[in-house]
Structures are given as structure tokens and as C-alpha cells.
């Protein structure tokens, strides 16, 4: 419990902690009002039994006389009015407090999920290489909400009710210590016993539920994402079965939680009825008069009636807390470990980092996080402004890794990537702003062609002229013209309504939208047939004149016209030079023979 509180406080921004302070004060006031209202009723009962007692208290008598309250009738009448006013005010306050509390909780949901998504969008690329997207989706979508409503809210509820219970018990203790002790023992003991019984299983189910929530998202993503493969291979059942298994486990956990929640009240209520009878007996035994008995019994009945839902709420919330506490763990871990990325707001990096002379990869060695193997070993190469280089080599030789380092997506383990002698690490956003990147698999969203080319820009801020230029340069213009809705045509999720070549050219247009000086292509044409590839290569040829190109290619024809070719072999540059010169290399020759 204290561990949960510590972690919660750690992920809350300091502004929220001040709000929490205000909430705590409001909580205390609410607790006091509850106790006060109970005391007043008990007092009222005593007065009803014997109105004269008020006149026995000398200072009070003077006040009452001053107010013109002289008879027992007056006392009952004004007493009733006073009672009503107190309850009205108290309940109005309680409603207000609940509203403030709900607001606090849901605003935390907003701020935590927003912050977490911000972190996931701003972390280095290497983070996403290690993490499954289903976990991240779950954390942002369901766990952040669970954290607010099922962890923070219960903590507040427990605190609120505890304050109230302590107040009521203090009042009771002042009036009747022995009977109070019996009450505490009964109600407290039974609640504690109940919690002990369900504790272990609640914890187990809670842990399980967290896992299954991620597995459900994962299964849906993979099943729907791999629909074509799954259908052709007839593997649909594997996905539906796996889904069912997760939903089943999650349901069982939820059923257990609900059942426990529903059991709390009846158990405590039964004890309470027994308790009240016991208290009446105890009081009679002590020789109370009927009037005093009525008053004290009223006090206890009212208190227990108020304590019941409070204990109910504490036990229920404590359980919910144990069940959902696991939502806190992944969020806490990511929010503390990745804190530095939280405020890295790169709205729009306006300034491109220009390329004046050359890009230089200097003695770069790279090891992927959590692995040992050196994927690149002491690689050095230099790309002059306005030139085109081609990277070739077998799959797994390290081409993509090398390009990701140049893109600033990954940071070298040793060595550096320099642009005009300056390490790109220092202004990686500005550097990226000057690069157009065309990956092998273009990520397309279910949106219009226009929005896919501009990508991540509000529709009204899209520069139509630049779109037109990019479309033309990517040789996409004829295709767009053939569509009835032109650039506004929707292309389906992941571009499902496009052919491979069309997708690739949208990728090229996207890379060109920013009008970058450097273009990086990672096997951008490998998945294309020869004719389509020719079109794309033609597009590339035209781009070559004014830009610096770094091209990874599978087919050597694609890079034949590059100024320098690098043959990468097992993380090292095995040979470099023009196409003709490289033909002398054995490995390279093998590639040309088989890969034509």
C-alpha cells in the first residue's frame, strides 16, 4: 500500500500534489461535518426525550433566552429547523466534494495518458525495437484509465472514509468507551478477516488480468493485421482460440472481483445487526435510563449506519486497489525510466540542418541494445554533397542498421556520424528535417493520398504546391489524375487499395514533401516488379541531379549509376568503388550473377 502511494506521488506532477493537498483539507472538513451531523441527531434525540435538559446548562440557557426560545415546544421546533439546515449544508458540501474528487481523478487520467503517449512518441527508435506495441497500446488506452479510476480513486476513497471513521469513532469513544471498543473489534475484525481471505486470489487475478489485456490487443492486432496470410493458411482458428483463452481468463478474473465486491456488504451488515443488539444489551446492563439509552443507542445506530458503507467502501476499494495495482507498475516504470523524453516537444522543427560538404560515418561500431554481437564493425564512409552512393550486400549484413545510424534513429555504440564535421547527435531533429526517408515498407494510414504524403500535418496547413511538386517528382501524377477524387482519394488502412508500386511512389512523394537535400532509400524498390522498378528508378534518376542520395538496393541494376558502391559484408565494408571496379570483387560478382 505504501509502495503504491510512493509510486503514485512520484508520477504526479508537482502541480497535482498541491491539488491533492487541497483535496485532503476538503476531506477533513467533510469528515468533521459527518461526525458533527451524527452528534447533532443524537443530541436531538436526547432533547426529544427530555427537552428540559438544555435549560439545565447555564450558559446555553442564556443564549436560548436571548433568542426568545423559552418553552420545550420552541426547543423542538427550532431544534428541528437547525437539524435540517445542518444536514442540508453537510450534504451539499459532500456532493461538492465528490464532484471535485471526480474532476481530480479524470483530469489525472487525461494528464497521465497524454504524458505517457507523449513519451512513447518521443523516445528513441531503439526503445520501440524492444517493446511490443500491444503493451504500449494497453498502457495508454486501458491502464492509464485504470490507474486513475481504479487505483487513485480508491486511494482517495479509502482516505476519505478513514478520516470519517476516525472522527465517528472518536465521538463514540468520548460518549461510551467500552461499547465503542466492542464495536471496533466486531466491525474491524470481520473486515480484516474478510480481506485476509480474499487477498491472495485478488492479487493473482489482478496480475493475470493485466497480462491478458495486453494479449487481447496483441491477438487482435496480429489476426486482423495478418488477415491475408491467416486466411490463405487457414489459421483463423488459432487466432480466435488464442483470443478466447485471453478473454476467458480476463472474465474469470473480473467475475471473481465482482463477486468479492458484492459479498462485502452482506457480511458486514450481518455483523452490524448483531452488533447493535449486543450494544443495546450492554447499555441496558450498565443501568442506563430509557431516555439516555435512546440517545446513546441512536448515536450508535446512526454511527454504525454511517460506518457500514464506509467500511464497505474501504474493503471494496482496498480489493480493487490490489486487483488493479498492477496497472501502476508498467506506467510507473515507463514514466520514471523515460522521464527525460516527456517534455521533448518537437512541434515543428523549422530549421533544416543544411548539408554543405559531406556526410561522414567515422569508425562506427554498433551493437543493438540487450545484444552482444557487433552488427557494424568500425565502418567508415563518406558521402559528398550531390553524390549518390549505393549500399549492397547480403541480407543481415547491416545495411539497414547503417542507414538508421545516418538517419539518427540509432546512435553509434562507438564512433560518430558527422555532417560537415558536426556530430548529428547534437541537432538530430534539424538533421532529420533535411532527410527524406523511403523505407522498404511504407507505413500508410487510412486517409487521403494528400494526407498520406504530408503525413502528420493538419489538413488546412498542408502546402498544396509542395504536394503537387512531390507528386510530380515521384511520378505519381498520372495515377492521381486517373482517380475520380484525385488527391482526396482514401487509400484504405495500410494502403490496402493500392498496388506495391503505387504505395512505394506515395512513400517517395512523402519523402519529397519536405524538399530535403538528402534522400535515403532502404530497399525501396525490392518489392517491385521490373517495369515498376524502372519507373521508380527513373524518378530517382531525376532526383539525383539536385540531391544527395543514399540507396540500399537488392538488385544491382538499381544502383548501377551511383557514383560509389559499397559492398557490406558481415558488418564491414568489403569493397567500394564504381560498379565497373567492383565487378572485380568475387562477392560482388556473385551478386550480379544471381541478382540480375
Ligand X SMILES: Nc1ncnc2c1ncn2[C@@H]1O[C@H](COP(=O)(O)OP(=O)(O)O)[C@@H](O)[C@H]1O
> Residues binding ligand X: what is the number (CB under 6 A)?
12
- Asked if residue 92 binds ligand X (CB under 6 A), the reply is no
CA distance 492 to 425: 36
Query: With contact defined as beta carbons under 8 Å apart, do 390 and 147 qualify?
Result: no
Give min distance, CB of 516 to ligand X, in A: 22
303 binds, among ligand X, Mg ion, none (CB under 5 to 8 A by kind): none
Closest alpha carbon to 405 in 346, 351, 352, 361: 361
Residue 401 binding target from Mg ion, ligand X, none, CB below 5 to 8 Å by type: ligand X
Least spacing, CB of residue 367 vs ligand X, in Å: 9
d(CA 258, CA 252): 10
- 10 Å Cβ neighbour count for 1? 11
Question: Considering only residues 108, 138, 399, 510, which one is a binding residue for ligand X as defined by CB under 6 A?
Answer: 399
Closer to ligand X by Cβ: residue 31 or 439: 439
37, 137, 202, 401: which one contacts ligand X (CB under 6 A)?
A: 401
Nearer to Mg ion, 400 or 452 (CB): 400
* Least distance between ligand X and beta carbon 373 (Å): 7
Contacts of residue 147, Cβ cutoff 8 Å, sequence gap at least 6 = 108, 109, 112, 324, 327, 328, 331
Q: What are the DSSP E strand ranges found in 327-425?
A: 358-367, 374-384, 388-392, 414-419, 422-423
DSSP label at residue 462:
-
Q: With CB cut-offs between 5 and 8 Å by kind, which of ligand X, Mg ion, none does residue 213 bind?
A: none
Indicate the DSSP class of residue 519.
E
For 362, which DSSP code?
E
Asked whether 570 and 397 are in contact (CB, 8 A), the reply is yes
d(CA 555, CA 253): 54
CA-CA distance, 280 to 286, in Å (whole number)?
A: 10
Contact 554, 523 (CB under 8 A): yes
Angstrom distance (rounded) from CA 331 to CA 186: 39
Minimum CB separation of residue 556 from Mg ion in Å reads 16
End-to-end CA distance of the chain: 66
Q: Which is nearer to ligand X, 112 or 406 (CB)?
A: 406
**According to CB under 6 A, which one of 225, 396, 492, 595 is a site residue for ligand X?**
396
Name the residue number minimizing CB distance to Mg ion. 400
Pick from 23, 279, 375, 575: which binds ligand X (CB under 6 A)? 375
What is the pattern of x (binds Mg ion, CB under 5 A) and - over residues 367-406? ---------------------------------x------
101 binds, options ligand X, Mg ion, none, Cβ within 5 to 8 A by partner type: none
**Residue 3, φ and ψ in degrees, nearest 5:** -65, -45
Q: Which is nearer to ligand X, 2 or 395 (CB)?
A: 395
**Minimum distance of Mg ion from residue 397's CB (angstroms):** 9
Instruction: Name the residue whose CB lies closest to ligand X.
Output: 400
Q: Which is nearer to ligand X, 22 or 129 (CB)?
A: 129
CA distances from 1 to 151, 223, 413, 523 (A): 11, 39, 41, 53
CB of 587 to Mg ion, least distance (A): 17
CA distances from 530 to 439, 500, 501, 542 (A): 19, 12, 10, 18
| Among 14, 395, 530, 594, contact with ligand X (rule: CB under 6 A) | 395
Stretch that binds ligand X, among 201-209, 397-405, 444-452, 488-496 (CB under 6 A): 397-405
Q: From residue 123 to residue 152, what is the string marking binding to ligand X with x (rule CB under 6 A)?
A: ------x-----------------------
Sites of contact with Mg ion (CB under 5 A): 400
Amino acid at each position: 500500500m505504501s509502495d503504491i502511494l510512493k509510486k503514485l506521488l512520484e508520477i504526479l506532477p508537482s502541480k497535482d500534489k498541491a491539488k491533492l493537498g487541497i483535496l485532503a483539507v476538503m476531506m477533513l472538513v467533510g469528515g468533521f461535518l459527518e461526525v458533527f451531523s451524527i452528534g447533532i441527531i443524537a443530541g436531538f434525540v436526547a432533547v426529544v426525550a427530555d427537552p428540559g435538559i438544555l435549560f439545565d446548562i447555564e450558559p446555553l440557557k442564556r443564549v436560548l433566552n436571548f433568542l426568545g426560545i423559552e418553552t420545550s415546544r420552541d426547543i423542538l421546533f427550532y431544534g428541528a429547523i437547525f437539524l435540517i439546515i445542518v444536514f442540508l449544508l453537510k450534504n451539499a458540501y459532500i456532493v461538492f466534494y465528490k464532484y471535485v474528487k471526480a474532476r481530480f481523478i479524470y483530469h489525472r487520467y487525461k494528464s497521465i495518458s497524454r504524458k505517457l503517449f507523449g513519451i512513447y512518441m518521443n523516445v528513441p527508435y531503439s526503445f520501440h525495437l524492444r517493446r511490443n506495441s500491444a503493451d504500449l497500446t494497453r498502457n495508454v488506452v486501458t491502464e492509464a484509465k485504470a490507474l486513475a479510476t481504479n487505483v487513485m480513486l480508491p486511494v482517495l476513497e479509502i482516505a476519505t472514509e478513514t478520516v470519517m471513521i476516525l472522527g465517528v469513532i472518536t465521538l463514540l469513544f468520548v460518549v461510551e468507551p467500552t461499547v465503542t471498543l466492542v464495536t471496533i473489534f466486531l466491525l474491524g475484525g470481520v473486515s480484516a478477516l474478510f480481506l485476509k481471505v480474499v487477498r491472495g486470489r485478488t492479487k493473482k487475478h489482478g496480475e493475470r488480468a493485466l497480462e491478458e489485456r495486453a494479449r487481447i490487443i496483441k491477438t487482435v492486432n496480429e489476426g486482423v493485421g495478418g488477415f491475408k496470410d491467416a486466411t490463405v493458411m487457414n489459421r483463423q482458428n488459432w487466432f480466435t482460440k488464442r483470443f478466447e483463452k485471453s478473454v476467458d481468463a480476463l472474465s474469470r478474473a473480473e467475475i471473481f472481483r465482482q463477486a468479492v465486491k458484492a459479498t462485502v456488504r452482506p457480511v458486514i451488515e450481518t455483523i452490524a445487526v448483531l452488533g447493535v443488539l449486543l450494544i443495546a444489551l450492554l447499555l441496558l446492563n450498565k443501568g442506563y435510563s430509557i431516555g439516555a439509552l435512546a440517545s446513546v443507542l441512536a448515536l450508535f445506530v446512526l454511527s454504525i449506519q454511517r460506518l457500514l458503507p464506509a467500511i464497505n467502501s474501504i474493503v471494496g476499494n482496498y480489493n480493487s486497489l490490489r486487483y488493479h495495482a498492477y496497472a501502476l507498475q508498467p506506467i510507473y516504470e515507463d514514466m520514471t525510466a523515460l522521464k527525460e523524453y516527456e517534455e521533448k516537444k518537437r512541434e515543428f522543427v523549422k530549421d533544416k540542418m543544411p548539408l554543405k560538404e559531406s556526410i561522414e560515418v567515422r569508425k562506427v561500431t554498433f551493437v543493438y541494445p540487450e545484444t552482444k554481437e557487433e552488427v557494424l564493425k568500425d565502418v567508415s564512409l563518406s558521402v559528398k554533397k550531390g553524390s549518390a552512393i549505393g549500399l549492397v550486400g547480403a541480407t543481415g549484413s547491416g545495411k539497414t542498421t547503417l542507414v538508421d545510424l545516418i538517419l539518427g534513429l540509432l546512435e553509434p555504440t562507438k564512433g560518430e556520424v558527422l555532417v560537415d564535421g558536426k556530430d548529428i547527435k547534437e541537432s538530430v531533429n534539424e538533421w532529420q528535417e533535411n532527410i527524406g526517408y523511403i523505407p522498404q515498407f511504407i507505413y500508410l494510414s487510412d486517409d487521403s493520398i494528400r494526407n498520406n504524403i504530408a503525413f502528420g500535418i493538419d489538413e488546412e496547413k498542408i502546402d498544396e504546391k509542395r504536394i503537387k511538386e512531390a507528386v510530380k517528382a515521384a511520378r505519381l501524377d498520372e495515377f492521381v489524375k486517373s482517380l475520380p477524387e484525385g488527391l482526396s482519394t482514401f487509400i484504405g488502412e495500410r494502403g490496402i487499395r493500392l498496388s506495391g508500386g503505387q504505395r512505394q511512389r506515395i512513400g517517395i512523394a512523402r519523402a519529397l514533401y519536405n524538399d530535403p537535400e538528402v534522400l535515403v532509400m532502404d530497399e525501396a524498390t525490392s518489392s517491385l516488379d521490373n517495369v515498376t522498378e524502372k519507373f521508380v528508378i527513373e524518378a530517382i534518376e531525376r532526383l539525383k541531379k539536385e540531391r544527395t542520395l543514399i540507396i540500399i538496393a537488392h538488385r544491382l541494376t538499381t544502383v548501377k549509376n551511383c557514383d560509389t558502391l559499397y559492398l557490406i559484408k558481415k558488418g564491414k565494408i568489403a569493397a567500394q568503388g564504381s560498379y565497373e571496379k567492383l565487378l572485380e570483387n568475387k562477392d560482388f560478382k556473385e551478386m550480379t550473377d544471381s541478382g540480375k
